[in-house]
Every structure is written in structure tokens, then in C-alpha cells.
Structure 1
């Protein structure tokens, strides 16, 4: 899938844009260690529903340049403001996964007037979440840097990811690997995880309850990083009107693992909004 690029705040930002420029816009936000190619098999279905899609590589991921300053949670939220302003996206539908959700949902709570609907997958901004084992290592100074040395080995990264996502293609895998290539590039992940103080989001659950836009929540039943109970928690505590779909035997990277099932719920969402 071909990428475009713009220069934003002096940095190259790569993104995928598909669909008619006159159609309602959908912004897709990926997580770690991903890129816009996470959405490769999802984008055509959204476009077929009559929408225009924009999916950026977040700074430091895929083909986008990193920030000059630390890659913190707050800095990525500012990026969403800067990027959507540059792309002239006034109101849009928001689709998020993994860290794209921590960034995007927090941003949506601060700018609810810009959000037309939400599709949320395998992510949480709950302060009840416990970081998974690898995240805990990344959040630990010294240990995080040490494991990044091993993750910069392409063959090891490739074999590890293919255990998680057996059907991932080489183009996507190579794009995901970009953030791990060097000690400098991998700082993006370490800085982001170390800025992830979930105490910051206590007030955001209350803000989420104020959002009455259509919401669809899609999750893999066997997600080892964000258990599917957080899908139900999100609905029960914040978004009671959300439609929740738990996909059996699917893991974390559902957009690649089980795209047909994800697209079924994506179609339902966008045909009803």
C-alpha cells in the first residue's frame, strides 16, 4: 500500500490516504511496534463504505521521522492536533489500536467535538491496567536499553513477531521493525512507555462517559498484552452504549491476524454511522 508524506514541524511524516477527498474522514492510529500498514487489510473496507481514510505512521515509527524532543505520551497527543490541523481534518471518525488508543482516546476526551464515532481495539486508558512483562522491562532504565539491543536483531525480531502473527507479510514486518533498528530509533519506544503514567488518566474515564458518539469495541479473546476483560470494563464503566465484539482465538494484532472478522464489525459500524 503506497504512502504519501508531508513535512510537519520540520519532520517527515508518512501516511496512507485512500478514498474520495469529499467523503467523511476516518483517522486510524496504530500502536507499538506498528505502523500504518497495520491497517492494510482494513482500509479498503472502510473506503468501500463511502469514507476517506488517513492513517499516519506516528513519529519515529514506520517511515516517519522521530521528534527532536522526547517521544512522550503528551507529545504524541500534540502530534494528533498538529497533524489533523495540517490535513484540514475538522471532524472525523477515530479508529485506534494499542498505544494509538492511549494517545487517541485521551485526545478524543479533550476534543470530543471533533469526534464523529469511535472504533476501539486492544487498548485501554484504565488506571487499573497492569503493564505486561515486556512493557515493564521497557519502562525500567537499563533493562529496557539492554533488551532493545536484542530486539535490533532483524532475524530475532522476525521470528518473534511471526510467532505472534503467523500470517504477517514481509512488507508490514519490515515497517514494524524500523523503530527497533538502532539504539537511537528504539529510544522512541522507551520514552513513550516511560511516560505512560496511568495515574494521569483517572479523570479521563469520567470524560469518556460524556461521549455519546457511536462506539464499536473489537478485541481478540486471547490478547496477551491487554486482556479482553478491558473491553468489557470500557463498556461497563465508560461507554455503556458501545457495541462489543470479542473475536474467539484471536490475539493482539487482530487487524492482521483475523482481518475478515474485524472487517465484518468495521462494516457494521460504518454502515450505521
Structure 2
């Protein structure tokens, strides 16, 4: 059973999962919106069993982590990754990202390519020409986004039903953890602030991801309603030409909790290939 730990970081409580030996190579898993570290519930024990320390934070404002006492902007989440790694005495990581966790984690990787041992990217992309999905565009629109968030918060039962329709096999405890971001106006604003913080200055460095030559695996849900699998192939073509792509049949956006039995072998394959590369270098 996974148990969240807590640490104080810049005066705020941060909740996180941390499995494996501290001496093991670290894997940092970064979730998206509206998620928490529990997105990785099924993957963490499997990765740890291969001899890796697996660390998955609740990003500030999500799960049980306090929100920033300032704007929940893209830039501040990038600094959070640096601060978290420093607090945990981590220098390099194997990075696993999903959804907005990809926009944060991969943008961080643009600034620190030397700290990225390998990458697993799932259902997350920001290639040239990327178009935000309809819900994202609503969240980005002042006034409209606030009303959408209020509506979601006002009817938790309906939100739960919708998520169970989208992820039939999901455990209710995971959804409860995800729902934490809707509980208060302050946490709801975390989502709006994050989506509204996207700007060209942050997007342009994504062109430099091709400098990362370490192993990259791209995992995607075949029927993702938010980010089409076409972006998996565009990501490989424009950013990681050496990447391996796996599209999981008949799955949506939340593949790690929708089809863990299909995702886990691919994740294990990735880390076994990383070990092979290290042995042959």
C-alpha cells in the first residue's frame, strides 16, 4: 500500500509518494490536470521493483499539497521541480510525465537536458501548431473558465459519474484525490492560472528537446479525446526522432489508471532498455 509523505518546501506543505531505496536511481513522475500523484498508483511499485527510487509529488494545489502563496503559473511550477529536487538531494532523474505534467516536465528538461537520464511521455505534447482542446480553451477564457470550474465543483456526483464513464475501471479513491483541486475557489483558481500562464516565451524552447539523446518512450491512448495520438507521432518527428511509440488500443487520456495491465509492461521495457544502454556504454 502506498502512503504519501510530506515535506515543507518554501513554507508550504508538499505531499508526495516516494518508494524504493534512496540510493537507487531516481524516477520523477509528474501528473497533470486535474490529477494527483495517485495517477501513478499502479506504476510506482512496478518501477521500484526494478531497482529505482520512484518519486511522485502532488503538484502545488493538487492532491494534498498546498497551493503556491502566489500565482500558479507555468514558470512557478518549473521552479518547483528545481526546489523539490534540491530538497530531496536529487541531481539527475528519469522523467515520467502526463498531460500538463508533460508541459511542465518537458519545459524543465529544455533548461536541464544534462539532468534527464530518460523520458516517458504520455498524452502530452506542445509541438508547433498544437491546438488546445475545447475544455482548455474555456479555462483560458476569463469569466468562462470560472463558470466552468464552479459548475464542476457544484456537482461532485456528476463529475464522478463523468470520470467513471471515461475511465470505467478507476478506483473511487483515486478520483477523490483528483477532485481535491475543485474543493475551494483557491484551488480551482490553480487550474485557471496555470492554463492562462502559457506564453510564447515558454513554448519556444520546446524546439530544443531534440538535444536530449537519452532513451525516450511515448505512450498514448488510442481514443484520447483531449490530445489526439497524431501528436505522439509529431512529437517523435519534431522533438525526439529516436523515440519509441506505443499507442494503447481502446483507451483514452488516463491510460495509467485505465489500462495499467497494458502500460506496465511497456514501462518495464523502457527501464530494462535503459539498463541495457548503461551496460553497453
> Could you tell me the TM-score, scaled by structure 1's length?
0.97
Task: Return the alpha-carbon distance in structure 2 between the equivalents of residues 169 and 203 of structure 1.
Answer: 37
Structure 2 counterpart of 1:80: 81
Deviations 1:78-112 (A, max 9, x none): 10011111111101100000000000000011001
Q: Bigger CA drift: 191-200 or 137-146?
A: 191-200
Structure 2 partner of 1:149: 150
Aligned to 2:7: 6
Paired residues of 2:107 and 2:205 also in contact (CA < 8 A): no
Is this contact kept in 1: 2:120–2:218, CA < 8 A? yes
Distance 2:120 2:199 in 1: 24
Deviations 1:16-71 (CA, angstroms, capped at 9, x unpaired): 00011111110000000000000000111101111110000000000000001110
Which whole-Å CA distance do the structure 2 matches of 1:171 and 1:142 have between them? Answer: 31
- In the superposition, the TM-score normalised over structure 2's length comes to 0.95
Counterpart-to-counterpart distance in 2, 1:76 and 1:95: 16
Q: Once the 2 structures are TM-superposed, how far is the Cα of residue 203 of structure 1 from its aligned partner?
A: 3.2
Aligned partners of 2:107 and 2:202 also within 8 Å = no
1:75-224 residue pairs with structure 2 within 5 A?
Answer: 75-152=76-153, 153-197=155-199, 200-205=202-207, 207-224=208-225
Does the 8 Å contact 2:60/2:66 carry over to 1? Answer: yes
Describe the SS at the equivalent of 2:130: coil
For residue 97 of structure 2, give the secondary structure of its aligned residue in structure 1. strand
- Does the Cα contact within 8 Å between 2:17 and 2:57 map onto a contact in 1? yes
**Contiguous gaps of at least 5 residues in structure 2:** 275-281
Residues paired across the two proteins, number:
272
User: Counterparts of 1:80 and 1:203 in 2: how far apart (Å)?
Assistant: 17
Q: Determine the C-alpha separation between the residues in 2 that align with 1:78 and 1:164.
A: 33
Cross-structure match for 1:52:
53
Q: Is the 8 A contact 1:215 1:242 kept in 2?
A: yes
Rate the CA distance shift 1:126–1:198 in 2: closer, same or farther, 3 A: farther
- Summarize deviations over 1:121-143 as a string: whole Å, max 9, x none: 00012231111111111111101
Q: What is the RMSD computed on CA atoms of the aligned residues?
A: 1.0
**Partner secondary structure for residue 119 of structure 2:** strand
- Which runs of no fewer than 5 residues in structure 1 stay unpaired? none
The alpha-carbon deviation at position 199 of structure 1 amounts to 6.3
SS of 1:173's partner is: helix
8 A contact 2:110–2:205 mirrored in 1: no
Cα drift, residue 198 of structure 1: 5.3
Cα distance between partner residues in 1 of 2:111 and 2:268: 27
